[in-house]
Structure 1
Amino acid sequence: MAAADDMSDDENWAGGFYEVLLVLGATDDARLDRAVRSLWRVAGVRECRVGPELVDVEPGVAAFEVGGHLYGTLTLPSGDRVVCGGFSFRYEGIDSLELYLPLGALARLDKRIGGYPFDDRSGVESLTWRAPLDRWLADVAVAVHAEVPFHRAVIGFEVDQDADVTDDERFAAILLPCPEGLDYRPATA
């Protein structure tokens, strides 16, 4: 069986991405750099590589300039190792940072994932595997927020920074700042 942590296996990168998106706030290279380093450390990402040759670099804002996406591996709460990636983008003066887990690699570890989100098991029943993953990604976001405060976090399949946080039926989990830290609102659909 192929390894879910093999960065050179194209099948691991197939199927789209399950991610945590941190909306950091107004464009600020220094904050983005701190956030990347914090996210990589808190999530336990090994390696930081860029480009098709998977060249080793230090995690940080400069690494995105070299290769666009950052690549590594991490250990999930289950103990399984999986490939992961990072990406940052600026939209209308706002910095955002993503840590993503490719569904191709995740599906090698958990058959319940199947063809999510495009198969007949992608409704509420997908919360059986998504909810624990969402909670772990939320815990990662909370730890990053303690070091580098951000505006909100969104967790799910190829999420949007403008996800509606008020919907009763949410396909993504949301974390919003509150007086006690961050308010976690799990996905419901």
Structure 2
Amino acid sequence: MSHPASFRDESNWADSYYELGIEVGSTDDARLQRVLSALWSAADVLGCFGRRDHEPHEQAQVPCTVASLTEHGDLLGQVRLPNGQLVVCGCTVVRGGDDSSDWLDFYVPTGALEKAGIVYWSDQPFFRSAVIDDWLAAIAMKTYQEAPFSLGVVGWTVSGCTDVSTMAGTLPTERDIGYLLPNDGVLHYGAANT
């Protein structure tokens, strides 16, 4: 059986992604860079690479920068889950237009999560894990301390599913995903509860 931290094993990247999606709050590269750097550090990602067809020891690292994101599309690394398993992870950016902000999306593929033994709610039509939700929310909290952002969302393929203007400063009462919403300089976490 392959290891969930192997870049070359396509089954690690299979299916979809479990994500921490961050609405940066602008389209300014300097602000995006601050959030990216803080996020990579908060998640304690091992390495920063541009190719998943080579294992980390077979390729040179790339800088953890907006320029590298633009060049490679995704920045890749390995991260240790709360259960101690090392898995592949990645980060990508969705650039906003003139009237919206950029989104930074940190993800762990569900193929790697399943191999790592993460238990998820099998009665849902999507992957959900309270353990991974809380872990990603903790990463967001640490990131926010170093580089404040407008909104965070946690869950299965959640990046861009809402935005801070839609939230109108209030966490939804019923939540299919986790929300991280700043209020007066404090980031509040509303875990998924449905």
* TM-aligned CA distance change 1:167 to 1:177, over 3 Å: closer
Tell me the CA shift for residue 167 of structure 1.
4.0
* TM-aligned CA distance change 1:138 to 1:111, over 3 Å: closer
- 1:40-119 matches, cutoff 5 A: 40-54=40-54, 55=59, 56-93=61-98, 94-110=101-117, 112-113=119-120
Scaled by the length of structure 1, what TM-score is found? 0.87
Tell me the CA shift for residue 52 of structure 1.
4.8
Residue ranges of structure 1 left out of the alignment (5+ in a row): none
Contact 2:23 2:150 in 1 (8 A): yes
For 1:133, the equivalent position in structure 2 comes to: 132
Q: What is the total number of aligned residue pairs between the two structures?
A: 181
* TM-aligned CA distance change 1:148 to 1:171, over 3 Å: same
1:98-133 C-alpha deviation (Å, 9 max, x unpaired): 1100000000122634xx7xxx53269x75xx1121
Q: Structure 1 residue 9 and structure 2 residue 9: aligned?
A: yes
The CA RMSD measured in Å over matched residues stands at 2.1
Could you tell me the percent identity over the aligned residues? 34
Scaled by the length of structure 2, what TM-score is found? 0.85
Deviates more, 1:157-166 or 1:175-184: 157-166
For 1:29, the equivalent position in structure 2 comes to: 29
Which SS does the other structure have where 1:143 is aligned? helix
CA–CA distance in 2 between the matches of 1:59 and 1:99? 13
Residue ranges of structure 2 left out of the alignment (5+ in a row): none
* TM-aligned CA distance change 1:76 to 1:112, over 3 Å: closer
Contact 2:150 2:182 in 1 (8 A): yes
1:170 aligned residue (172, 175, 187): 175
Contact 1:21 1:153 in 2 (8 A): yes
CA–CA distance in 2 between the matches of 1:111 and 1:31? 33
Q: Structure 1 residue 188 and structure 2 residue 190: aligned?
A: no
The AA in structure 1 aligned to 2:149 is F
Contact 1:4 1:108 in 2 (8 A): yes
